[in-house]
Homo-oligomer: A and B are copies of this chain.
Amino acid sequence: MTFQFDVYKPLTEESAISLLKKLHFFAEDEHVTCREIGDGNLNLVFQMSTQGSTKKWIVKQALPYAKVVGESWPLTLKRAKIESEALLQFAKFTPHLVPEVLYSNETLALTIMEDLSHLSIARTGLIKGDSYPNLGKDIGTFLAHILFKTSDLGLSPTEKKEKAQQFSNPELCKITEDLVFTDPFFDHDTNDFEPELSEKVEQLWKEDELKLEVAKLKRLFLTNGDALIHGDLHTGSIFASEHETKIIDPEFAFYGPFGFDLGHFIANLLFNALRRPPAQTELFGFIHDTWETFSSVFTSLWKEDKNNPFLQVNGYLDYTLRTVWQDALGFAGCEMIRRTIGLAHVADLDTIEESELRIRTKEIALDIGRSLILNRVEIKNVQDLHEFYIENNEFLGNNARTV
């Protein structure tokens, strides 16, 4: 069977095998097992292996549409190129924290990468109560490197502007602009929440002070090209085990604000803390590890630099770290609200079976999200955040100590 490289067509299990043989990932006469394991909403994902060999590959191919909760709309195939190029970019700094990319093809909108099926999706594992002792440290290391090294701190202004062009990603950004920053704060038909939450949601929609802060955060997202960010760094975009962490799916990558990824990661750890009150200390430990590692690695990179005279100016590093933290809290707040009442939800909350508990937990998620947005300047550090979490969350009755 001949394989056409010059025209886009969704792969089948058969044509995926044919492609990988053509590309010499497998020998022509090898018996290859291939399974499509994607959810079919955005991408095809083929897992391929041969018996009696360690060779295992993932072929991820973008579909020309997105499906979410029954709706379907066309979506650029360019996201496959963004994803593979972002993974390659991240691999330059932290190769141990992303899957290895072995091949990519822009026309076919596909990437061949290492198989990570020995790991679990962190969200799923966390809900089950799996232990990820390196998770916080690894995400902190990852963020410190990508934020420093792809920004004007780590690149010449010309290189940085070239990269910002390379990673221009208007269609995927539009999804975030609408679904994270806009629709959940107005009565929009993409929103999705239980009728029991209506009263609280309508209160949010009436609150101009909150919406003003969201407008500022949305403006940051729209205009502030600090660094190449992942763009969708929730716990479902992380494969993990006790020993390993791998960040996947950077289809939303673009030049955006420093605090965005950190904020989304924190929000998703908070969802898990709401889901599992007894694990609160552990989850705040992750947030603590993330921030401590991020700030210490970022500080080292900053201090190593000898070319940029502003990096020697007293107070500039502190100012930068404070900005990252404050903006991250604001973005975390938006993420908490939109994952509770917007189009795309999180399993941490949605799979709480007992209905009253689920509603009550979602109300707390909304309260915390709202307060993070409004109080992001006052919450100075992880300890403040934890105290503040406990105050907003007396219902769940945690007696866990703050970190």
Partner pick for A223 among B158, B162, B208, B224, CB 8 A cutoff: B224
Residues of B near A310 (CB, < 8 A) are: 182, 211, 214-215, 218
Query: Are B309 and A182 interface neighbours, CB within 8 A?
Result: yes
Asked whether A212 and B170 contact (CB < 8 A) given A223-B224, A224-B224, A225-B225, the answer is no
Does A212 contact B316, Cβ atoms closer than 8 Å? yes
Question: How would residues 186 to 203 of chain A score, 1 for a CB under 8 Å from any chain B CB and 0 otherwise?
Answer: 100000000000000000
Minimum Cβ distance to chain B for residue A252 (Å): 14
Distance from A14 Cβ to chain B, minimum over Cβ atoms (Å): 37
Q: Which residues of B contact A165 (CB under 8 A)?
A: 165, 168
Chain B residues whose CB sits within 8 angstroms of the CB of A315 once the complex forms: 208-209, 212
Report chain B residues within 8 Å CB of A216: 319
Per-position 1/0 for A214-229, Cβ under 8 A of B: 1110110011111000
CB distance from A100 to the nearest CB of B (A): 30
- B168, B211, B214, B313: the one contacting A215 at CB < 8 Å is B313
A161 at interface by CB-CB < 8 Å:
yes
A127-149 residues at the B interface, CB under 8 angstroms: none
- Copies of this protein in the assembly total 2
Task: Say whether A278 faces chain B, with CB atoms less than 8 Å apart.
Answer: no
Q: How far is the CA of A214 from the CA of B223 in the complex (A)?
A: 20
Smallest CB gap from A209: residue in B: B315
Task: Specify which of B152, B223, B314, B316 is in contact with A226 (CB 8 Å cutoff).
Answer: B223
> Which listed residue (B170, B186, B209, B226) contacts A162, Cβ 8 A?
B170
Of B161, B215, B319, which contacts A173 at CB under 8 A?
B161
Are A171 and B158 neighbours in the complex by a CB distance under 8 Å? Answer: yes
Closest 9 CB pairs of A and B: A208-B314, A161-B170, A158-B170, A215-B310, A211-B313, A212-B315, A152-B222, A215-B316, A186-B309
Whether a CB of chain B sits under 8 angstroms from the CB of A292 is: no
Say yes or no for A114: interface residue by CB 8 A criterion. Answer: no
What is the CB-to-nearest-CB distance from A202 to chain B, in angstroms, rounded to a whole number? 15
Q: A182-B310, A185-B309, A212-B313 are in contact. List 20 more A-B contacts (CB 8 A).
A: A152-B219, A152-B223, A157-B177, A158-B174, A161-B170, A162-B170, A182-B309, A211-B310, A211-B313, A211-B316, A212-B315, A212-B316, A214-B310, A215-B310, A215-B316, A216-B319, A218-B310, A223-B225, A223-B226, A224-B225
Residues of A that sit less than 8 Å from B by CB: 151-152, 157-158, 160-162, 164-165, 168, 170-171, 173-174, 177, 182, 185-186, 208-209, 211-212, 214-216, 218-219, 222-226, 309-310, 313-316, 319
Bound-complex Cα distance A377 to B223 (A)? 21
| Distance A186 CA – B313 CA, assembled complex (angstroms) | 11
CB distance from A226 to the nearest CB of B (A): 5
Least distance between A107 CB and chain B CB atoms (Å): 22
Q: How far is the CA of A140 from the CA of B337 in the complex (A)?
A: 39
A316 to B224 Cα, complex, angstroms: 18
For residue A166, give the distance in angstroms from its CB to the closest CB of chain B: 10
Q: How far is the CA of A310 from the CA of B219 in the complex (A)?
A: 10
Cα distance A110–B309 in the bound complex, in angstroms: 37
B174 adjacent to A157 (CB under 8 Å): yes
A307 to chain B, nearest CB (A): 11
Given A215-B316, A309-B182, A173–B157 Cβ distance below 8 Å?
yes
In chain B, what residue has the closest Cβ to A181?
A: B310
Name the B residues within 8 Å of A160 (CB-CB).
222
Please name the residue on chain B nearest to A222 by beta carbon.
B152
Hey, which chain B residues are within 8 Å of A151, CB to CB?
223
Most buried by B among A151, A173, A215, A224: A215
